[in-house]
C-alpha cells in the first residue's frame, strides 16, 4: 500500500485552528446532550456543598461597562484553572475539594507591615463594590463578568510598601490533595503572577471575593483572586495565599513555562498575535455557536485608563 508523504498534503487540506476548536466544542456539546438523555437526573458535579453566601456591596458604575454580563452558569462553568484540570469544564467538576476556610495570606518583602493574616483580617476594612468588567483570555475567548471586590491598591497600601517595592507578586495555594491538577507536571507549581507596582495601584485593578453578588465559586478562584481587565486572564491570580513586594521583576509562571508565548505584561493587544493563533478577534462565550467573532479592543477597551502606564514602551517586545 502506497502511503503519501506528509509533504504531499496540500495547505488547503489543513483544518484551520479556529475550525478545529469550533468542531471540538460542537462535538463536546453534542456528546453532553446525548449522554444527559441516557442518564438519570442527578446533582450537577459543580454544585456547591452549601449555597454561596450573598454579599453586601454597592454598584460602581464609574468602572463598569454597559455590556450585558454573561450568565452565572457561563462564568462558573467555563474556566481556566489548571490546578483543577486542563479542560474548561474541569474546574467546575473538580474544585469542590478546595476548602476556603480557614484561609490565610502571607505578606512579605519590601513592605513595613508583613506577616500572616487571616482572610477575615484581609477583608474586614474594605467595603465591597460590584464592577462589571470585560474578561479576555489569551485563547481568544471573552466574557463580561460582574465581579464583587475592592480596589487592589487599597489592600496593598495597608502594608506600606517601601520605596524599594517596584513589583508585587501573587502566589496561589499549593496543595495537590485539594487541587488535583497540581499532581501533574503541567506547570511549575505553585502558580505565581506579578505586576509592576504602578499597575497594581491602578484604579482598575480589583481584588475579587465574589461574582453576581455571591461568594466566589471555588472554580473562579475562591476565596481571593485578582482581576485586571486590561490584561489576558492568566495574569489574574486565583486562590491567593501570598503577596510579596520586591525590587526586581519576579518570574511569573507562564513566562517561565513558555517565554516565547506568554510575556510578563500580557496586555490585551490585537496587534500582537500569540505564536499559534491570532489575537485580532475574539469569541464571546454565551453568544451561541454560530455567533460572529468580534474585533479585539486595545487593552481590552480600557486604553483610556491604562495606556499611560506603558508610554514609550515597545509593546511588541514587552508583550
DSSP element (H, E) containing 35: helix 17-38
Domain membership flag for residue 127: yes
Question: How confident is residue 50, by pLDDT bands cut at 50, 70 and 90?
Answer: low
100: alpha, beta or left? (left if phi > 0; alpha if psi -120 to 50): alpha
Residue 134 pLDDT class (50, 70, 90 cuts) = very high
pLDDT in tens, 114-133: 999 999 999 999 999 999 99
Mean pLDDT of the chain: 88
3-state class (DSSP) for residue 110: coil
How far is residue 6 from each of residues 9, 15, 20, measured CA to CA in Å? 6, 15, 19
What's the CATH number where 131 sits?
A: 3.90.420.10
Domain-embedded: residue 10? no
**With 0-12 CB in 10 A as exposed, 13-18 as middle and 19+ as buried, what is 12?**
exposed
- The grid coordinates listed for 85 are 484540570
Pairing of strands 240-246, 214-215: unpaired
Summarize pLDDT for 74-96 with one digit per residue, the tens. Answer: 999 999 999 999 999 999 999 99
DSSP assignment of 244-264: EEESS----HHHHH-TTT--S
Least confident of 20-34, 128-142, 270-284: 20-34
User: Does 34 reside within a domain?
Assistant: no
Is residue 54 one of the residues assigned to a domain? no
Report pLDDT for 295: 97
Q: What is the pLDDT of residues 193-229, one digit of tens each?
A: 999 999 999 999 999 999 999 999 999 999 999 999 9
Q: Is residue 218 part of a domain?
A: yes
Instruction: Domain count for the chain, please give it.
Output: 1
Copy the grid coordinates of residue 168: 508585587
| Closest listed residue to residue 189, CA positions, set 167, 172, 209, 177 | 172
Q: Is 127 within 8 Å of 254 (Cβ atoms)?
A: no
Domain for residue 49, yes or no?
A: no
pLDDT value for 51: 87
How much is the pTM?
0.85
**Residues 6 or more apart whose Cβ sits within 8 Å of residue 104:** 116, 117, 118, 119, 241
| Mean local confidence (pLDDT), 50-69 | 95
For 171, the domain range is 59-310
Amino acid at each position: 500500500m502506497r502511503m503519501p508523504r506528509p509533504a504531499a498534503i496540500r495547505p488547503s487540506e489543513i483544518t484551520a485552528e479556529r475550525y478545529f476548536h469550533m468542531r471540538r466544542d460542537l462535538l463536546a456539546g453534542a456528546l453532553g446532550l446525548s449522554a444527559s438523555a441516557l442518564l438519570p437526573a442527578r446533582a450537577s458535579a459543580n454544585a456547591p456543598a452549601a449555597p454561596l453566601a450573598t454579599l453586601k456591596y454597592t454598584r460602581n458604575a464609574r468602572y463598569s461597562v454597559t455590556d450585558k454580563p454573561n450568565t452565572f452558569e457561563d462564568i462558573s462553568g467555563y474556566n481556566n484553572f489548571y490546578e483543577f484540570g486542563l479542560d474548561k469544564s474541569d474546574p467546575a467538576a473538580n474544585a469542590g475539594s478546595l476548602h476556603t476556610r480557614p484561609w490565610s495570606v502571607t505578606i512579605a518583602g519590601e513592605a513595613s507591615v508583613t506577616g500572616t493574616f487571616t482572610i477575615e483580617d484581609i477583608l474586614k476594612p474594605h467595603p465591597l463594590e460590584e464592577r462589571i468588567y470585560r474578561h479576555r483570555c489569551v485563547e481568544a475567548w471573552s466574557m463580561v463578568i460582574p465581579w464583587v471586590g475592592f480596589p487592589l491598591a487599597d489592600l496593598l497600601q495597608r502594608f506600606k510598601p517601601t520605596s524599594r517595592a517596584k513589583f508585587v507578586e501573587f502566589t496561589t495555594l499549593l496543595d495537590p490533595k485539594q487541587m488535583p491538577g497540581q499532581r501533574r507536571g503541567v506547570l511549575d507549581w505553585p502558580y505565581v503572577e506579578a505586576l509592576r507596582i504602578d499597575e497594581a495601584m491602578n484604579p482598575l485593578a480589583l481584588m475579587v471575593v465574589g461574582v453576581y453578588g455571591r461568594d466566589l465559586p471555588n472554580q473562579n478562584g475562591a476565596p481571593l483572586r485578582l482581576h485586571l481587565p486590561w490584561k489576558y486572564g492568566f495574569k489574574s491570580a486565583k486562590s491567593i495565599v501570598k503577596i510579596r513586594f520586591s525590587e526586581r521583576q519576579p518570574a511569573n509562571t507562564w513566562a517561565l513555562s513558555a517565554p516565547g508565548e506568554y510575556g510578563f505584561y500580557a496586555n490585551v493587544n490585537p496587534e500582537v498575535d500569540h505564536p499559534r493563533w491570532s489575537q485580532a478577534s475574539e469569541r464571546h462565550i454565551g453568544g451561541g455557536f454560530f455567533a460572529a467573532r468580534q474585533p479585539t479592543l486595545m487593552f481590552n477597551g480600557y486604553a483610556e485608563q491604562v495606556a499611560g502606564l506603558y508610554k514609550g514602551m515597545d509593546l511588541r517586545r514587552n508583550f
